[in-house]
Structure 1
Amino acid sequence: MQELINTTLYILDTFGIPLDATPRRLERMAIAFLASGDIKKIADFKKTKDLNSGYALKTRDIIIYLNKHFGENISSGSYDDIRRKDLKLLTVAEVVLQSSPNSATNDSTRGYSINPTYAELLRSFGSKGWEKMVSEKLKNIEPLSKKLKREREIAKVNVTLPSGGVLTFSAGEHNDLQKAIIEDFLPRYGHGAEVLYVGDTSDKYLYLENEKLEELNFFEISHEELPDVIAYSKKRNWLYLIEAVHSSGPISELRLIQLQKLTKDCKADIVFVTAFLNRQKFRQFMTEIAWETEVWIADNPDHLVHFNGDKFLGPYKE
């Protein structure tokens, strides 16, 4: 059984189906695919059924098939899971076809069966040069894995550093704000600052100038208390610790105390900044902002909100 599932996943990978789900989800996708072609063992690949042969299983029939032939214990009420989860990638890629594609989403008569193009390849599985055969047969079909990868790349956010270098962030409002901090805040208020650290929501250490931070006697970079953006102005000897606030994490009194303790040996003077995308988000967190820190709002980039003190912008000393 495991050999059959592993073989099926190898075949689906060759067909261009992305395999970046959990092992259990991949297993469920594999056996739903096998049910769609009436395949119970590896030898059955040679007699795969497809839509042209009139074979199609409704989602409830697939559940019965999986329980009977694959030792599953899936509830009959889970038919929606079959359609939305187990068959989703396969139908989007059109490796599995719907017997009545124009029917309503909840049409109980709609069945699922393997696309005849892919069924033909399955029936020749194991023959010499099979992968080359697949490549030739599917050369005009863009693999779903490639489509999804391209969409993810399109969705990413490019950020230009003050030095002219370019970073690529994953999409999202938090990273949109970090982009604004680097491209709009620092050129206005950074006094020639260069970015020494910035994290992405999907990569904590997207950009890191560890040696330069060590020269400033900054705290251990692996520490969980890192702010979102760190930049250094050599001209002023200011180190900017900037929090990009989307859903949480402004520089509160407690956060300020933590950062002050962590940077007590730093050779640069510290500027604490909390950044927001808009005034509405600022108002949401305004009562939490610590005194003697700065606030910058991305949709009003030419203004700062200064929380007390004898300077408009700058580090505070005892």
Structure 2
Amino acid sequence: MTGLLLDVAAPVRAGRPARARRAGLWWLLPPVVVLLGFFGYPLVLVAVQSFTSKSGELTLSVWGEVLGSAEFRDAAGPTVLLALGSAAGCLLLGTFLALAVAFVPFPGARGLARVVDTLPAFPSFLIALAFTFLYGSAGLLGAGGFLYSPWGVLLAEVTFYTPFVMRPALAAFGQVPAAQLEVAASLGARPGRVLRQVVLPEARPALASGTCLVLLLTVNEFGIVAFLGAKGVSTLPVLIYGKAIVTFDFPAASVVAVVDVVLSLVLYAGHRRAVGGGRRAAVDQA
């Protein structure tokens, strides 16, 4: 009798997860519709507009004109170079500050970490405004030529985006077992060797994730570049603004926007891969 009851109850239990999954799919429908309406639909419109001429005809000529123009090349090059330079600068500075806060006991270490953490809470153009008061022509240091050059934009972006590398690095350094550091020190390893062979390998996934995130954010940075108005510095977001708002050339602006979206998706995929690699490494260590 007991076996018969178990055989009868088994299909009932098997049917419950299926009904639960179907109910969960219904609950997912409203947010998916909202996401498609507010994000997917405008993105499709931009993609369609990029293949539409000013006269309203579907054509590929807009892509050829935009991608072959010197204006696009002059914007794409600085966009990539500034993003790479900012990512490298944030990686170096963020790693150094995280190491100093995590392993070098000095007064004000926690205060420094909190100050750095508060930077992303402000709009990026405020960094450019602060740099204007410091390095502008009428600023404290009066290095106006430097501020309005690509190096000024690079310095402003590194200053603003360093916390995006420093915070994950601090979290990773905090998870390094103290026993490993003690064993390495007891075996006579110098601090530099401990840093290279023990500390940095543990934090490599976090550093890679933070660096990819900085790349993604700096590729789409608009406020710093537009506020500083650096001479000879044009990026893809600034070019989109100029085409759409200044000259009302919406097809050309849509082409640049699609290129920027594709580049952002590639960088986002790299960021997700770095995050996934860090999680897998943590699971393997556990």
Q: Which protein has the larger Cα radius of gyration, Structure 1 or Structure 2?
A: 1
User: What is the TM-score with the length of structure 2 in the denominator?
Assistant: 0.24
User: What is the TM-score with the length of structure 1 in the denominator?
Assistant: 0.22
Greater percentage in strand = 1
